[in-house]
Structure 1
């Protein structure tokens, strides 16, 4: 066979020289299609995860997952897959999703002794970085996470929460005051309870983190900094798709608009400036905040300033939006279930005096706490799964050995509403948490809204106490009526890491 000086067969050389642009483009497209098909066949039939059930198209390509994430429907997409295929589903070529309750122990906990491999750590390549480059607790390596957690733990202890109780009550009482003023001015006024709860939780956490509130309740409007947070959530969820394609991510980072990077920096700098003010000038008012409790211990001195800033920014999201979300969800679920509302209101209003509402007394109300647990089950603030990566030795999850190097998740909404875990899974029935024999087979340990293990949510006790105070105060003082515009409130929502919540419009009638 004759060849050119470059070693290219002569016939092929002539073919290339005489090819038209359309023929070249067609050939390139054909090669790419053939490559895509061959790779898809390999993924479906010859891949290490090929033995796990799931749609063949999802095993062949990430397209269904990308579409679901982009459109904000991944939470329901995964629910449907698990109902069809079972406790373990291959949701993408390199990803498995688990709704068996043991997955909490095996992925997020310490695993089961005597099984092959070890628990999968977080897949840190999917979590991004902080602006200042210093990881907060949520994305720190295990060793760094443990060190930071030891420093912050005293600030979230039961003793600390009792010291912070006056601060919680200050803003929750202001919430009640604002609702009373609005309903007295106009008895038919429709409050957006999503906004009212969000104003409250951000003011509380602003005071705890920065030593001063954001004045959102006082002004009944969003602080510009908070508005930027919410505006960036959807964008961040979609940009995160680039984590699946490292080359595309590098191109994006190289050509990211300067205005985008500047806005992200300015947003982070807001937290930095407020922490600086708190450290230099102290609190604006009496009370105890996070830094009061952290810095008075010897270990607190070992926290770098960059670590203070990155964790302050973390607390302002993790300790606010999630609590406002579950308060909104519980309010909606109660107004949609009048008998449950009647029972919980009766329990709360049996308290002789509103001043007797404290952390301890509300924690002892069985029906209120059952309603909260059921709300977390049906409407978890974190509805999707957080990615972990099986280690070099692999992992045993829910009785199945998973080879090394694959992504595994526990999708909360899919687990909590699975018919394999709960009877009547889509119905709001608080009695399932109170020993009702009809639900003896429910897998109640499946519901872990704050995760489990050494990296579970540090602020879970704070969240429970704050939520109980908010709901008890509101239900003690008001009868709530849902406006027709907010019917099917949950069903209309999409998820971009967080729930994209429409207004929850309610009419409130003061009862005292």
Structure 2
């Protein structure tokens, strides 16, 4: 290392300082700077400097100066001179997205954002160039008419998947094409055609509950097996047999580990650009390999079966475009995650809430039995459960209190920025309308932390739901969950058949405090075990 002040103030030192300031100022002015290009330029610069200096101690010293100046200048500008510098939030989040990645790694991101919203108000800075908003007026950013707004930088994570899918594409035109193809699979007639297969898997679920003979067990994997079988059947035309004990139970574990990686990488959009250059995590490989096997098996069946993938193999009716093989792969992964993971967490929490609130369970049971009598003892199916208002209220309340995607979708403002509730959001800023915060906000849902299905019914609607726009568990606008009605069919039938046949209570080994401690936000929710007893009714 240089040993005196004079040598430290040499021309190479000033050159390093100048290059650092130039690089920082150049990158600062670029919206979504191309990380891979910058990495290549940085690598070339490193090689050039080393060749010119031919002195390792001096090379290390110059690099230390360059990176110290670059990082210090970046930190100062982000903290004090950024357009978002006046927004409240963690200073660590303002400095680097590594903090959000850490929150996703630990699984507490949604809880921390809600805590900050409750402490600091509707507008939070959650990253150097990202914000979270807890205000219904922000939903305008997701409207079909807002052509300036696109998906946020989180969705660069599609680099892990290999190609974009319906959820991750950031191009409006491409999303429109993908949406057009997917919509064919969820038209009213298509969803009706799926009903007998949904009913088959719910029948198996009920038989598995009977097999427990009223003894305590962890209900979460049993529910996961049902939702996975429904997803595999309706998505890929395959009876996977998880409920019959012949499917691969490791799949759900791989999926949750995969979603954790997705959440952490999505929090670091600059890293997403480098994903193709990095070795793939073992859990990512395992999940994607299993998904590709399901996809290839379905492709081999051709187009002679009415399922979701049959429609993905078809061309968009408007553009005539068909999905490429890599797009089919990416959208197949989406079917698995959206079709199995989200519904299972909602149902698990719903049954837990019924056990915690026996008076609610009893009212639901009475509604179900009254309907059974009116229907002349007809077996419940996907159609006749639609007429049970309290059942629907219980499901909606579970979705409100325990949303399966608590962070919500991320948008990005356009070159003109945007104004929400009088607050200006600068151009090219990532924006999340935070679902968990808004769905439990007392302004929109009084007694927001209470499980109160009656809030959705006529006599209490005005008191319990102050602004229905805030009910967004399925997202909003052109990005609303396309499988919403199918998910409702599954949940209504599973809950009606279960409560009809069983009284649901918690097992002695269940601990509510431990359960809440084990709740994790990996973009989708991962929950711990719930020991329950499903005791057959007389």
TM-score computed with the length of structure 2 as normaliser? 0.80
Higher relative contact order (CA 8 A, sep 6+): 1
Stretch moving more, 364-373 or 26-35: 26-35
User: How big is the shift at 1:295?
Assistant: 6.7
User: How big is the shift at 1:39?
Assistant: 3.7
Contact 1:451 1:457 in 2 (8 A): yes
Contact 2:504 2:533 in 1 (8 A): yes
Report the RMSD for the aligned CA atoms in angstroms.
3.4
User: How big is the shift at 1:262?
Assistant: 5.5
Contact 2:314 2:322 in 1 (8 A): no
TM-score computed with the length of structure 1 as normaliser? 0.84
Contact 1:378 1:426 in 2 (8 A): yes
Stretch moving more, 155-164 or 326-335: 155-164
User: How big is the shift at 1:266?
Assistant: 2.5
Partner of 2:493: 469
1:164 corresponds to 2:194: yes
Partner of 1:214: 240
Partner of 2:166: 137
1:98 corresponds to 2:116: no
Contact 1:151 1:299 in 2 (8 A): yes
Q: Distance in 2 between matches of 1:265 and 1:202?
A: 16
Q: Distance in 1 between matches of 2:455 and 2:344?
A: 24
Partner of 1:502: 528
* CA distance 1:505–1:10, change in 2 (3 Å): closer
Q: Distance in 2 between matches of 1:362 and 1:26?
A: 72
Partner of 1:426: 449
Q: Distance in 1 between matches of 2:462 and 2:241?
A: 47
User: How big is the shift at 1:26?
Assistant: 9.5
1:411 corresponds to 2:434: yes
Say which SS state the counterpart of residue 457 (structure 1) adopts: coil
Contact 1:225 1:270 in 2 (8 A): no
Partner of 2:383: 360
Partner of 2:94: 59
Q: Distance in 2 between matches of 1:476 and 1:455?
A: 35
Contact 1:271 1:313 in 2 (8 A): no
Contact 2:346 2:399 in 1 (8 A): yes
Can you list the C-alpha shifts for 1:207-229, whole angstroms capped at 9, x where unaligned? 11221211001117644444432
* CA distance 1:34–1:220, change in 2 (3 Å): same
User: How big is the shift at 1:174?
Assistant: 0.9
Say which SS state the counterpart of residue 228 (structure 1) adopts: helix
User: How big is the shift at 1:453?
Assistant: 1.2
Partner of 1:452: 476
Stretch moving more, 40-49 or 424-433: 40-49
Can you list the C-alpha shifts for 1:323-354, whole angstroms capped at 9, x where unaligned? 11111111111211122111112111222266
Out of 104, 113, 116, the position equivalent to 1:69 is 104
Partner of 1:5: none
Say which SS state the counterpart of residue 486 (structure 2) adopts: helix
Q: Distance in 2 between matches of 1:398 and 1:119?
A: 18
Say which SS state the counterpart of residue 502 (structure 1) adopts: coil
Out of 204, 214, 239, the position equivalent to 2:230 is 204
* CA distance 1:32–1:132, change in 2 (3 Å): closer
* CA distance 1:485–1:109, change in 2 (3 Å): farther
Out of 329, 338, 342, the position equivalent to 1:322 is 342
* CA distance 1:128–1:29, change in 2 (3 Å): same
Contact 2:240 2:246 in 1 (8 A): no
Say which SS state the counterpart of residue 503 (structure 1) adopts: coil
Partner of 1:47: 82
Contact 1:95 1:408 in 2 (8 A): yes
Contact 2:97 2:267 in 1 (8 A): no
Partner of 1:349: 369
Out of 351, 367, 374, the position equivalent to 1:331 is 351
Can you list the C-alpha shifts for 1:148-195, whole angstroms capped at 9, x where unaligned? 322332321222222221111111011101111221xxx32x232211
Gaps of 5+ in 1: 1-7, 113-117
Partner of 1:122: 151
* CA distance 1:424–1:293, change in 2 (3 Å): same
* CA distance 1:258–1:363, change in 2 (3 Å): closer
* CA distance 1:373–1:491, change in 2 (3 Å): farther
Say which SS state the counterpart of residue 114 (structure 2) adopts: helix
Partner of 1:396: 419
